[in-house]
């Protein structure tokens, strides 16, 4: 049993949760009921969402404390509020664990989420590369010392910078410069994609695009690319064009922490700034983290007030606990199992005739093109859910069904690996998924409608239940 599964302290956690729920019940029983139901639902479904996991009871319980009540704007030892000594302790611990775990010179634990971590990173890069030299040109030290006219000139310069990131349909993220997100409104953006033949990143093509576009920021990292990235090559490209390399490892931070990605595949030694979420493969609380070189550290450290207000002190405490867990040897075995299980899932699909984007995986996720089953991503996602399999639809490169209906389903192994699933179980998962999809018929009148016979859904649920019962979530935890 791993700590994340909870068996080590199941009895204590059970009594803690019973007490917590009875307190909530006295105020708003419907919230207590929904909280109980959420555990039942999570225990009873095959969770294959690549961005989700199950944090340990230690991490979850750490979030439910009075740290939530404390304002602590500023940074460690330098706050705009009094009485932050204990917040200083937990924030410093989170940063220390992050530095040690990832081998980073500097870590910032305040971002509330991945999107916040990316905003902090972008503004830290703009501050370092544009604002600070701009102030020097005007002969002042602080923005408040500029005249209105000079401030307008500097603001215009800040708003006239370029960013290059991976295209959405090949696996990039909205925060990598796309118009619906603030990053696309801040920067002129151009995307790099993948090779239409192999589905892989073509580093020569990225270099050629970067030479032409000359971005200030080159972003590497993804939400739905099932392969490893060579960050040494990305850094070479960034250096050649004078860009800052920012890596968003939100999805695969657990594989970096667990030393599955090392050398050129470890982003931290190569990137100027690395961002991540803490709740996906890293298995911590919902939140963000920024790692930086000495050069960018002072600007990142000003995340508050730059783009953040008061940090979520209770979540920073939980980050410290989760990062301490990730430094244990068991986490390396977990991370390796996440990657091995993704391979097993991919092979399971391939041997049953599935069509995978890039032909396979070497990280924690698999992207199945469901058009070979005659379905859209939306139809496949809904049919799988009817059979108790929780996934999410995702665009495939040059997706004919667009970003809403899509043609793909993204599968990730971090959550079920936490439950104890191994390669045998993931082969069975592939079998169940194919069973659902090959028995689902699209309704030609809509990209959302479909039919899945009840007996198939029921049969798959029964087989899933066997797998789930053999690998319980939070074993021994009873409410
Ligand atoms: N960056 C990447 C690559 C992501 O996949 C995500 C979330 O899916 C984010 C950033 C944003 O994270 P959050 O939802 O915590 O804001």
Distance CA(322)–CA(207), nearest Å, equals: 37
Whether the bond between 305 and the residue before it is cis, its omega within 30 degrees of 0, is yes
User: Rounded to the nearest whole angstrom, what is the distance from the C-alpha of residue 289 to the centroid of ligand 1?
Assistant: 11
Q: Do residues 281 and 338 lie in contact, with contact meaning Cβ atoms separated by under 8 Å?
A: yes
User: Rounded to the nearest whole angstrom, what is the distance from the C-alpha of residue 115 to the centroid of ligand 1?
Assistant: 6
Pocket perturbation via mutation, ligand 1, pick of 115, 219, 281 by most ligand atoms within 8 A of CB: 115
Does 381 lie in the same domain as 319? no
Mean pLDDT, the chain, whole residue set: 96
Does 226 lie in the same domain as 160? yes
Average pLDDT of span 205-211: 98
Does 142 lie in the same domain as 260? yes
Note the pLDDT of residue 66. Answer: 97
Note the pLDDT of residue 5. Answer: 54
Does 352 lie in the same domain as 466? yes
Average pLDDT of span 437-461: 96
Q: In the numeric block, which tokens belong to residue 415?
A: 């959550």
Cβ atoms within 10 Å of 77's Cβ, excluding its own:
10
Average pLDDT of span 83-94: 98
Q: At 121, is the secondary structure helix, strand, or coil? A: helix
Note the pLDDT of residue 9. Answer: 76
User: Rounded to the nearest whole angstrom, what is the distance from the C-alpha of residue 260 to the centroid of ligand 1?
Assistant: 21
The total number of structural domains in the chain stands at 2
Categorize the per-residue pLDDT at 6 as very low, low, confident or very high, splitting at 50, 70 and 90.
Answer: low
Contacts with 114 (C-beta within 8 Å, 6 or more apart), sequence order: 175, 248, 250, 275, 276, 277, 288
Average pLDDT of span 319-329: 98
The answer to the question of residue 147 being in a domain is: yes
Distance CA(293)–CA(345), nearest Å, equals: 37
- pLDDT per residue over 404-440, tens digit each? 999 999 999 999 999 999 999 999 999 999 999 999 9
- pLDDT per residue over 213-248, tens digit each? 999 999 999 999 999 999 999 999 999 999 999 999
Pocket perturbation via mutation, ligand 1, pick of 113, 219, 246, 250 by most ligand atoms within 8 A of CB: 250
Annotated binding residues: 168, 172-174, 294
* pTM > 0.75: yes or no: yes
Categorize the per-residue pLDDT at 1 as very low, low, confident or very high, splitting at 50, 70 and 90.
Answer: very low
User: Rounded to the nearest whole angstrom, what is the distance from the C-alpha of residue 114 to the centroid of ligand 1?
Assistant: 5
The answer to the question of residue 2 being in a domain is: no
Residues with CB under 6 A from ligand 1: 51, 113-115, 118, 173, 175, 221, 223, 248, 250-251, 277
User: Among the three residues 299, 326, 353, which one is the final residue of a domain in this structure?
Assistant: 326
- pLDDT per residue over 285-303, tens digit each? 999 999 999 999 999 999 9
Domain that holds residue 391: 337-470
Distance CA(110)–CA(154), nearest Å, equals: 27
Which residues lie across from 194 on neighbouring strands?
Answer: 201
Does 349 lie in the same domain as 377? yes
Note the pLDDT of residue 3. Answer: 46
Does 276 lie in the same domain as 224? yes
Give percent of the chain above pLDDT 70: 98
List active site positions: 71, 73, 248, 277, 280, 286
User: Rounded to the nearest whole angstrom, what is the distance from the C-alpha of residue 277 to the centroid of ligand 1?
Assistant: 7
Does 152 lie in the same domain as 75? yes
Domain with residue 221: its CATH number is 3.40.640.10
117 sits in which H/E element:
helix 114-126
Contacts with 148 (C-beta within 8 Å, 6 or more apart), sequence order: none
- Which residue puts its alpha carbon closest to atom 2 of ligand 1? 250
Distance CA(396)–CA(224), nearest Å, equals: 9
Pocket perturbation via mutation, ligand 1, pick of 173, 274, 285 by most ligand atoms within 8 A of CB: 173
User: Among the three residues 326, 353, 381, which one is the final residue of a domain in this structure?
Assistant: 326
Tell me the DSSP string of 151-195.
Answer: HHHHHHHHTT-EEEEE-GGGT--TTTT-TTSHHHHHSEEEEE-B-
- pLDDT per residue over 154-164, tens digit each? 999 999 999 99
Annotated binding residues for (6S)-5,6,7,8-tetrahydrofolate: 168, 172-174, 294
Distance CA(245)–CA(116), nearest Å, equals: 18
- Which residue puts its alpha carbon closest to atom 10 of ligand 1? 114
Does 312 lie in the same domain as 195? yes
Categorize the per-residue pLDDT at 7 as very low, low, confident or very high, splitting at 50, 70 and 90.
Answer: low
Note the pLDDT of residue 136. Answer: 97
């Amino acid at each position: 049993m791993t700590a994340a599964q909870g068996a080590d302290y199941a009895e204590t956690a059970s009594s803690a949760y019973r007490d917590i729920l009875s307190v909530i019940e006295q105020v708003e029983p419907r919230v207590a009921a929904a909280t109980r139901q959420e555990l039942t639902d999570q225990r009873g479904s095959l969770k294959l969402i690549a961005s989700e996991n199950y944090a340990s009871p230690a991490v979850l319980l750490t979030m439910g404390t009075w740290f939530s009540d404390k304002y602590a704007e500023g940074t460690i030892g330098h706050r705009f509020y009094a009485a932050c000594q204990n917040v200083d302790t937990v924030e410093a611990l989170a940063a220390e664990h992050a530095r040690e775990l990832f081998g980073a010179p500097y870590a910032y634990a305040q971002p509330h989420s991945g999107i916040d971590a990316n905003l902090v990173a972008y503004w830290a890069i703009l501050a370092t590369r544009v604002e600070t030299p701009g102030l020097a040109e005007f002969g002042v030290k602080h923005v408040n010392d500029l005249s209105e006219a000079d401030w307008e000139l500097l603001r215009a310069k800040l708003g006239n910078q370029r960013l290059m990131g991976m295209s959405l349909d090949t696996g990039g993220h909205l925060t990598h410069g796309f118009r619906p997100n603030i990053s696309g409104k801040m920067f002129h953006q151009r995307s790099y994609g993948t090779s239409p033949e192999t589905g892989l990143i073509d580093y020569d093509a990225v270099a050629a695009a970067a030479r032409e576009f000359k971005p200030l920021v080159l972003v590497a990292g993804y939400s739905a690319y099932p392969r490893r990235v060579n960050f040494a090559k990305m850094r070479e490209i960034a250096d050649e064009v004078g860009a800052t390399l920012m890596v968003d490892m939100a999805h695969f931070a657990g594989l970096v922490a667990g030393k599955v990605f090392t050398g050129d595949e470890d982003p931290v030694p190569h990137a100027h700034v690395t961002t991540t979420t803490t709740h996906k493969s890293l298995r911590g609380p919902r939140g963000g983290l920024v790692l930086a070189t000495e050069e960018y550290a002072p600007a990142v450290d000003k995340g508050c007030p730059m783009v953040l207000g008061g940090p979520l002190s209770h979540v920073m405490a939980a980050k410290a606990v989760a990062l301490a867990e990730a430094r244990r040897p068991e986490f390396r075995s977990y991370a390796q199992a996440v990657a091995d299980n993704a391979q097993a899932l991919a092979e399971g699909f391939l041997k049953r005739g599935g069509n995978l984007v890039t032909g396979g995986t070497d990280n924690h996720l698999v992207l199945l093109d469901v058009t070979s089953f005659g379905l859209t991503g939306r139809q496949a996602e809904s049919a799988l859910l009817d059979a108790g399999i929780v996934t999410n639809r995702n665009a495939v490169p040059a997706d004919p069904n667009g970003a809403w209906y899509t043609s793909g389903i993204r599968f990730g192994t971090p959550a079920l690996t936490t439950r104890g699933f191994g390669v045998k179980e993931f082969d069975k998962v592939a079998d169940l998924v194919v069973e659902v999809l090959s028995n689902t018929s699209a309704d030609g009148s809509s990209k959302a409608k479909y039919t899945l016979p009840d007996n198939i859904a029921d049969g798959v649920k029964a087989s899933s239940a066997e797998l789930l019962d053999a690998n319980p979530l939070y074993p021994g935890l009873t409410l």
